[in-house]
Structure 1
Amino acid sequence: MALPGGEKHRDATRAAVYDHWLREARQDDFIGVQNYERVVHGPDGEVAPDGELNGMGTAIAPASLAGAVRYAHEVAGVPVLVTEHGIQTADDTQRAAFIPAAVRELAAEIAAGTPVLGYCHWTLMDNFEWIFGYGAQLGLHEVDRATFQRHPKPSARAYADVVRDYRGTAAH
């Protein structure tokens, strides 16, 4: 079956960027996956995102993590460990909504049979990024650069709730 133009372009891009490394991991115990965004492809390449955007200008797409995990496992054939996942945004309400939605999608992927060893959120606190300096807001805690005091954002509570809820369901 021929793929529509956008999927064909997406698959060619994936293969060129990721497949070599994913095939190399076939003899490993697991593959680490980092996911921050979804890029949509049309017949002629990347398509401008619709809807709400994160601080990097890409669409906020909680299901992108589950898709990345599924793809990595399909190609590598080994379990997946989510080593980093999150969004860069100055609006923490976006992050607080994004985390539980993404973890729900990931849980559905696990229920469908994709082996996932764990999940690490990106990152505990706003930190220095090589390209963006201290301007990018990535963390669950903000840092006062004058006093170095750390203050939890609402997304820290959202993450704690997700972990607590998952632990409760995983124990049964």
Structure 2
Amino acid sequence: MQEAHRQAYAAIKAARPELPVGITLTTQDIQSAGAPSLVADYERRLYGDWIDVARDHADFFGVQCYTRLVFDEKGMVPPPKDAEKTLSGYEFYPQALANTIRWAHRTIGKPIYVTESGVAVADDARRIAFIDAALDGVRACLDEGIAVHSYIYWSLLDNFEWTSGYAVPFGLAAVDRDTFVRAPRPSAHHFGAIARANRINGS
């Protein structure tokens, strides 16, 4: 896959040198619970040589971030007992996005596109809170001079989510599986208002 990407990058650049070509990876916020920890080992296992590919054969880097993963010297540490959990079973932690953007900027040094950021919750008010906190983090990264060019929420509609099927609602719009009627949630209108106001880039 990496060699295919390199060859595709070269072929596209040969035909259209000005056309941006990039890579997007699943990039959770990997944190250390103290020293020593297995953070570096887990980053190698998760990303492998893709970091080098992104440095050498990409014009931008796509971040897909949903939560944080914390490691100590023995392995992954479970979330705090009082931590809020999403319906996907991981910690409700929108701050992970800004941390991951900073990691990508520091590690890869390319313009960044947030290609996935979202949360599966039953209470749509928590989805709104997640979006607001995630976008506040993006705003902070922009203020720090990091080139962030997009924020794409996952997902517009409740979708079939891997082994969880339809049990984890990520969507800004609910889908009735019998009638297929799509009903925008309050979070859809909230996110739309943010987009129309162009708040994220300060305009």
TM-score, normalised by the number of residues in structure 1: 0.88
2:135–2:200 contact (8 Å) kept in structure 1: no
Provide the residue aligned with 1:29 in structure 2.
Answer: 59
1:22–1:72 contact (8 Å) kept in structure 2: no
1:40–1:48 contact (8 Å) kept in structure 2: yes
Provide the residue aligned with 1:139 in structure 2.
Answer: 171
Provide the residue aligned with 1:45 in structure 2.
Answer: 75
Provide the residue aligned with 2:119 in structure 1.
Answer: 87
Q: Return the alpha-carbon distance in structure 1 between the equivalents of residues 86 and 35 of structure 2.
A: 22
Larger Rg over CA atoms: 2
2:66–2:94 contact (8 Å) kept in structure 1: no
Provide the residue aligned with 1:14 in structure 2.
Answer: 43
Unaligned runs of 5+ in 1: none
Provide the residue aligned with 1:150 in structure 2.
Answer: 182
Unaligned runs of 5+ in 2: 1-31
Q: Which has the higher contact order (CA 8 A, sep 6+)?
A: 1
Quote the RMSD (CA, aligned, Å): 2.0
SS class of match (1:83): strand
Q: Return the alpha-carbon distance in structure 2 between the equivalents of residues 88 and 148 of structure 1.
A: 20
Provide the residue aligned with 2:19 in structure 1.
Answer: none
Q: Return the alpha-carbon distance in structure 1 between the equivalents of residues 71 and 105 of structure 2.
A: 21
1:55–1:88 contact (8 Å) kept in structure 2: yes
SS class of match (1:36): coil
SS class of match (1:131): helix
Q: Between Structure 1 and Structure 2, how many residues are aligned?
A: 169
TM-score, normalised by the number of residues in structure 2: 0.75
2:138–2:200 contact (8 Å) kept in structure 1: no
Aligned-residue identity in percent? 39
Deviates more, 1:140-149 or 1:42-51: 42-51
